[in-house]
Copies of this chain bind each other. A is one copy, B any other.
Amino acid sequence: MGMLRAGIVGATGAVGQKFVALLQGHPWFTITALVASDRSVGRTYRDAVNWIGTTGIPASVASMDVLPFRDNLPCDMIFSGLHASVADHAEPTLARAGYPVISNAKSFRMHPDVPLLIPEINPEHTSLIKNQDWQSGGYIVTNPNCSTVGLTCALKPLHRRFGLEAVQVTTMQALSGAGYPGVSSLDALANVVPFIGGEEDKLVHEPNKLLGTVAGGVLQPTSIRISAQCNRVPVLEGHLECISVKLSTSASREDVVDAFESFVSPIKGLGLPTEPDQLLHVFEDEQFPQPRRHSDLGGGMTVSIGRIRPCEVLDYKFIALSHNTVRGAAGGAILNAELLVKQGLLHARADKITPSEPLT
């Protein structure tokens, strides 16, 4: 298989930058198009971007020209780091033009025909793609909100083994989840902001879609009652969540620990480059996991679990930590694309548009 050509829309934003950083050295995908708003078009990526990463702009993209948005881009697939307000219109345009759109935006996450995808959790949901009617071979696949991912990865083994009736979750979310410039330092430093617009609603609905089943081509979400309280804390990377669950069947603490530890990802063995060795890592040290120390586990793709213990109100409580800009955004989307490749749903386009040809 030759390298697949990846385009990134919203390439200069915080999520777009993370796509650029994580795709460096990727064995299957190579960046061939960087698309951003008019302000950036015509400049090199180096000049257009306010690079916020700690590793420097990769040399391979630094001198690439930023392209305008259009429906003929020199790539086989699109990673979308667009804001929802732009993605609402842009992503259908790209799908209609025949591109697989691997999106991090919230715009189509809850659309019944659009897979909301975590490869280790619901790889079979990609079958929804064939319900999408773009007449072009294109489609949209989404990854969940950054706070949904850790929660859902933690809930899956419990739901499969015991059934889940209800979930209480309180999040302590990193500043990077708000993008750049995002939260003012005067709100962030030595403070907690106990509100994140729209976030709690996503935590109520997205896990039920992710844990649902596809039957007869139709997605049937679960109906777990979820209550979320979301907070922004002065942490750079890593969303920590305090979770309490009510199970459908009784379970000992050992059963719960075992459910986490024995969970086998259904994509194990497919050889997806971005899949971590462990989806879930269970800590026994009651001080762990901590955002600053453990967010990078598994290259930022492992979800850490800790402090598993009985709950006085529901059945069990524990904490979960996930890297919000890797597992919860760009890394998750890249893993989605890898799964689509393995499933035969993402491949080189016949009509190769090359970056060098004249473009309108």
Contact residues of A with B, CB < 8 Å?
52-56, 166-168, 170, 172, 175-176, 180-195, 204, 225-227, 229, 231, 233-236, 240, 242, 244, 246, 286-294, 296-297, 306-307, 311-314, 317, 319
Contacts and interface: CB of A to CB of B under 8 A. Distances in A.
B191 A293 contact: yes
Contacts of A288: 194
Given A176-B186, A191-B292, A296-B55, A234 B234 contact: yes
B312 A235 contact: no
Contact of A287 (B194, B244, B294): B194
Contact of A188 (B185, B191, B226, B294): B185
This chain's copy number in the assembly: 4
Contacts of A53: 293
Contact of A226 (B192, B225, B312): B312
Task: With a 10 A CB-CB cut-off, give which of A54, A167, A190 has the most chain B CB atoms.
Answer: A190
A347 to B, nearest CB: 36
Contacts of A204: 312
Contacts of A317: 227, 229
Contact of A194 (B167, B181, B289, B313): B289
B229 A172 contact: no
A166 to B, nearest CB: 5
B227 A291 contact: no
A336 to B, nearest CB: 26
Contact of A292 (B190, B289, B319): B190
A321 to B, nearest CB: 8
Contacts of A194: 240, 242, 287-290, 306-307, 319
Contact of A290 (B167, B191, B227, B290): B191
